Amino acid sequence: MQKFNWTDDGYFVTDTRDLARIRRVLIITMLLNFAATAVKLGAGIATGAISVIADALDSLFDGLSNIVGLAGLYAAAKPPDAEHPYGHRKFETVAALSIAILLFVTTGQLLQAAWERLRGGGEPVSINSWIIGALVLSMGIQAVTSYYELRQGRQLKSEILVADALHTRASILVSFSVLVGLILVRLGFPQADPILAVGVALVIAKIGVDILRDNLPVLLDQAPVDPNQIASIVRSVNGVESFHRVRSRGAQGSAAVDLHIRVSPDRTISEADAIADEVRRRLLEVSQINDVTLHLEAQRPEGPDAPALFAVLKHAADALGITIHESWAHRVDGNLVVEVHIGVEPSLTIGEAHTLADRLEWDVRRRLPEVHSLRTHIEMASTRVQEALQVPEELEEMVQRAAQNVIEAIPEITSPRNIAVSRLPEDGKGYRVSLDCTIAGDTPVTVAHQLADRVEHELSQQLDGVIDILVHLEPDN
């Protein structure tokens, strides 16, 4: 029975009964494998047939692999926690790989024993009808075991049950070949026994390779779910504008999926969250998916829009310790060109400042490949709080008279006030001027900016040594 559990990032599906059923199947299979082992081992010891003993070892490792599987399931049954946010299902995969290692060890031992027998060592083999009957009985036990375990493994989507059942199925063929070999030995071909033992060893090695091939992709995070299947489901949800970075990981039957979906920026947070929940719900209906993580984004227009462009520009400048004074973006012959006034520390050399400007251009174009070029105008800026130097009273009076004269000549601007003159240590003999003025509240910003530029220009013409003029315009209302 499937049960939906909420997490901080979404929800995942767990099956509260599957692991218990897999554990029960493994216990039954283990007992059957040990029964087949006892029958074969008794026959092998009684006859001295190395191929029969090899077949018994094959069945023995079937039973031991069930014990390994039970240990893996014990760990896999634990719920997700802080250290294992995707759960513990990979412990089952590790257990399946442990079976492969045991098979390879068995292969080496069998090949060594077969080589000794081929060289003339070991006791002669004695065959009778009781031994043949014992092998037939063990083959029947194996057939029942394989059918039962494979059926249950496919129903429960358990890697370890399927892997073990396939091994048991191959063991039936091995036992049959051993039976044929014993008949050949009885007919006067004693070399058939070690040769068949080599064949059994190779079959066991092949099964180990198959288990590795089936389970290594899980540990290597190979995608267990077809991305086209995920895309088809996500595309069917109304409100999803686009999606990207579709990924899946984990084992068959317990895959974790994460992806980024984009919705219209006009959607409210509640609407966007509802769309994301619907995507999760439909993905979790797929049997092999039990965990879905969604990253929700606003749909982007084709190419960078103005807010995104200038946000990236500011972020890149902040990272370099550069201030942005003014910026413009326009297209020239279809190419996006950005122009920006940047402020750098006055203590820098022109070479150092130019290097910063180049780095800014490189960073912006890396983040936004649509930007064809970034043109910069370097100005002075300071991120330090400095103590201003005292200026002569005569200079302050001269600046105030000049400001009054300039403002009187521009009818759109009135009431010059808060006229201040300052000089910083880094300014040398130059000084800075700031003043407030009044302008009609319904004046367009573009017109107000032109008027402020006019005040700055005319003041700079009348004043010697001024290096910066700041005009602050306030509405008359």
335-344/371-380 β-pairing: parallel
User: At 273, is the secondary structure helix, strand, or coil?
Assistant: helix
Domains 227-298 and 306-380 are alike in CATH topology: yes
pLDDT for 455: 92
How many CA atoms lie less than 13 Å away from 167 in the CB half-sphere?
37
Average pLDDT, the chain: 78
pLDDT in tens, 73-83: 666 566 666 66
Annotated domain spans of the chain: 15-218, 227-298, 306-380, 393-475
For the cut 60, the answer to whether the pLDDT of residue 10 exceeds it is no
Q: Which of 211, 202, 207 is nearest to 111 (CA)?
A: 202
- What does each C-alpha distance from 446 to 86, 406, 453 come to in angstroms? 57, 20, 11
Question: DSSP secondary-structure letter at 259?
Answer: E
What the block records as the tokens of 39 is 């029958």
The pLDDT value given to residue 305? 63
DSSP E strand stretches across 333-430: 335-344, 371-380, 413-422
Could you give the CA distance from residue 37 to residue 323 in angstroms, rounded to a whole number?
A: 79
Backbone angles phi, psi at 242, to 5 degrees: -165, 170
| Coarse DSSP helix, strand, coil percentages of the chain, rounded to the nearest 5 percent | 55, 20, 25
By CB atoms closer than 10 A (0-12, 13-18, 19+), residue 122 is middle
389 forms bridges with which residues in the sheet? 423
pLDDT digits over 240-254, tens only? 888 888 887 776 666
- Ranges 86-95, 237-246, 419-428, most confident: 237-246
Q: Which of 85-99, 187-201, 230-244 has the lowest mean pLDDT?
A: 85-99
Alpha helices, DSSP H only, in 119-191? Answer: 129-156, 159-186
3-state secondary structure of 304: coil
332, 329, 316: which is closest to 366 by C-alpha?
316
Higher per-residue pLDDT: 11 or 434: 434
Of the candidates 139, 162, 152, the one whose C-alpha atom is nearest the C-alpha of residue 58 is 139
Low-confidence winner among 41-55, 383-397, 453-467 (lowest mean pLDDT): 41-55
Residue 400 confidence class, pLDDT cut points 50, 70, 90: very high
Q: Which of 29-43, 84-98, 126-140, 317-331 is the least confident region?
A: 84-98
- Sign (positive or negative) of CA dihedral 363, 364, 366, 371: negative
Hey, which CATH number is domain 306-380, 3.10.150.10, 3.30.420.10, 3.30.1520.10, 3.30.70.1350?
3.30.70.1350
Find, among 137, 110, 126, the residue nearest to 185 by Cα.
Answer: 126
Measured distance CA(163)–CA(152) in Å, rounded: 12
Nearest to 174 by CA among 62, 67, 99: 62
pLDDT at position 405 over 50:
yes
Question: What single-letter DSSP state applies at residue 384?
Answer: S
- The pLDDT assigned to 458 comes to 92
Percent of the chain exceeding pLDDT 90 equals 8
Instruction: State the Cα–Cα distance between residues 124 and 190, nearest whole angstrom.
Output: 8
91 vs 389 pLDDT, higher one = 389
Go through 316-348 and write b for each residue having 16 or more CB atoms within 10 A of its CB, e for each that does not: bbeeeebbbeebebeeeeeebebebebbbbeee
Instruction: Label residue 108 by pLDDT band (50, 70, 90).
Output: confident
* pLDDT single digits (tens) 166-212: 777 777 777 777 777 777 777 777 777 777 778 777 877 887 887 77
Q: Whole-angstrom Cα distance, residue 371 to residue 305? A: 11
pLDDT at position 301 over 50:
yes
Fold for the domain defined by 393-475: Alpha-Beta Plaits (3.30.70)
Domain 15-218 superfamily per CATH: Cation efflux protein transmembrane domain (1.20.1510.10)
Cα 54 to Cα 135: distance, rounded to the nearest angstrom = 13
CATH topology of domain 227-298: Alpha-Beta Plaits (3.30.70)
Distance CA 159, CA 252 (A): 8
